[in-house]
Amino acid sequence: MNDAPAEAPRDYRDTVFLPQTSFPMRGDLPKKEPRILARWEAMDLWAKLRAAAKGRPPFILHDGPPYANGNLHLGTALNKILKDVINRTRQMAGYDANYIPGWDCHGLPIEWKIEEEYRAKKKDKDAVPVLEFRAECRAYAAHWMGVQAREFRRLGVEGAWRERYATMDLASEGAIAHEILKFLLNGALYRGLRPVMWSPVEKTALAEAEIEYHDHTSTTIWVRFPIVQAPVKELEGASVVIWTTTPWTMPGNRAVAAGPEIDYALVRVDGTAEGSLARHHETMLIALPLLPQVCQDSGITTHHLLHVFKGEALKGIVCAHPLRGRGYDQDTPLLLADFVTTDAGTGFVHIAPGHGEDDFLLGRANNLDIPETVGDDGTFNAWVPLFAGQHVYKAADAVCEALTQAGGLLARGKIVHSYPHSWRSRAPLIFRATPQWFIRMDGPEHIREKALRAIDATVFVPDQGRNRIGSMVAARPDWCISRQRAWGVPIPIFVHRQTGEPLRDQAVVDRIVEVFTSEGADAWYSSPPSRFLGPDRNPDDYEQVRDIVDVWFDSGSTHAFVLE
């Protein structure tokens, strides 16, 4: 055993060559960063940067506004930090990089939060005066603007925070109204009945950017449409079979569509499985490529092929609605359409012009009735036979029961598919034809053409961004800008009650913009219509539009009150 004392560990610090600096050993950033920001504030760093850059070429990064609704998240932080990096490098490169931050303040997300507070208090939103409700929305947005401004500054983002802009500023609302009314005066803004993505929960139309897709389980049905008028004898007594994933649209059916180049089989049912709703010896038309799958899905075990027709040869067929005799006694013509495919279903599409873009366009081209079967809240209107008052989300069983009793249902199933939902309420959406305000993309104003030219002339980093936005603009339908809500800039238009035409009067427009700029958009709700119409027009002759403009129009108008 060694009893010698252990040597003390050697201190190697004196043997390492380190530079002598005033930097502390510890970062201590939670304390240091606020001190740095306080120093920048005390020295008015932003004013010094502007003074130093005076006379330089301007570099303008226009701030696409974040939404004043909640604390920052990684997306908003990354957005602002990257902008700050770009502005600082341009400032150091010899430019005057004057950066004006701003906020989007209107729109459904804020309304939804206020309504959530109402629901928690058992308070009826519709019973609250509109100006009181708008004031609560304004206060909510103002609170979160302040919170987000502090959080952005805590990240070290420099900008003209004292001169920030907000879409809910009074002058901003006046500028947004002015931009809307430009489209009114040049003829590009019109009111039309078209199917739009509609949220029954939020009771408003939604823009494409407000829609997300989730898996959804839908009831599928195969339905017979009995042929009552046929161009050839072989088709007499047969049925056209359709397939749909939206049974609730059956009350809105006004036609059936076939593909002109598709081969359709006329078959006779010779054998069925137990429980099948197919009937022995009935004859039906089904697309030939889809016949095996339809037989499997409907429990048809044996069948006899009687004839094959090209879709073009089916022109002139008239069917009965499968609920004929139960309030649906209109004829159902068979129409030819290029959008019909054999990817799934039966090769026939049931056409409900009020519940789909293709359906609507085909219906309008053939002068079909476009019934408004569904109300704002997603329930069938009072005049809809058999289903009045029922919610479309819960109508599948009732529709199937009615079809079964009428002998129209051939089969029923389920499908899990990607389906549009509101990104706020997370509830499924429906296509619903309602009167809305649209900006025309194609017409004498050449808006689509101008937009595509502007995209082509813009430098994109990375360059593939040009193709993405270019393809979106090239394929986009007319822009639905109206929302049936309360918190936003109203579409400040008067419509003549007799003609249905919007009033295009420069003097009225000037009065509206002047009042909005000085008092804000609340004036539209607090002032009598005569204030805007002037002494030469009778307010009783005009309907005052109460819809608000899509919040994306707000942010798209910011150039008018920030840059210009």
Contact 330, 321 (CB under 8 A): yes
Q: Give the containing element (helix H, strand E) for 224.
A: strand 211-229
What CA–CA distance (Å, rounded) separates 392 from 339? 25
How far apart CA 330 and CA 451 sit, in angstroms, is 44
Q: What percent of the chain has pLDDT over 90?
A: 38
Cα dist. 114→133, 284, 378, 424, 428 in Å? 8, 54, 22, 13, 21
Query: What whole-number distance in Å separates Cα of residue 140 and Cα of residue 143?
Result: 5
Which DSSP state fits 237? T
Average pLDDT, the chain: 88
* CB neighbour list of residue 430: distance below 8 Å, 6 or more residues apart: 197, 198, 200, 248, 355, 374, 378, 392
Per residue in 200-231, pLDDT (tens digit) is 877 777 766 677 888 778 888 899 899 888 88
* Predicted confidence (pLDDT) per residue in 394-442, tens digit: 888 888 988 998 888 888 888 787 777 887 777 888 888 888 899 999 9
- 144-153, long-range: CB < 8 A, 24+ apart: 144/68, 144/69, 144/70, 145/68, 145/103, 145/105, 147/71, 148/66, 148/68, 148/71, 148/72, 148/76, 148/103, 149/101, 151/71, 151/72, 152/72, 152/80, 152/101, 153/37
Q: Is 296 helix (H, G, I), strand (E, B) or coil?
A: helix
User: What's the one-letter identity of residue 275?
Assistant: G
- Indicate the pTM of the whole model: 0.74
Largest CA distance in the chain: 119
Q: Are 303 and 270 in contact (CB under 8 A)?
A: yes
CA pair distance 525, 135, nearest whole angstrom: 12
pLDDT in tens, 134-176: 999 999 999 999 999 999 999 999 999 999 999 999 999 999 9
Vertex 295 angle, CA 293 and 298, to 5°: 105
pLDDT of residue 2: 61
What would the pLDDT profile of 447-502 be if each residue is shown by its tens digit?
999 999 999 999 998 888 899 899 889 988 888 899 888 999 999 999 998 888 89
d(CA 233, CA 446): 50
The Cα 7–Cα 167 span in angstroms is 74
Enumerate residues 6+ apart whose C-beta is below 8 A from 169. Answer: 561
Cβ atoms within 10 Å of 469's Cβ, excluding its own = 14
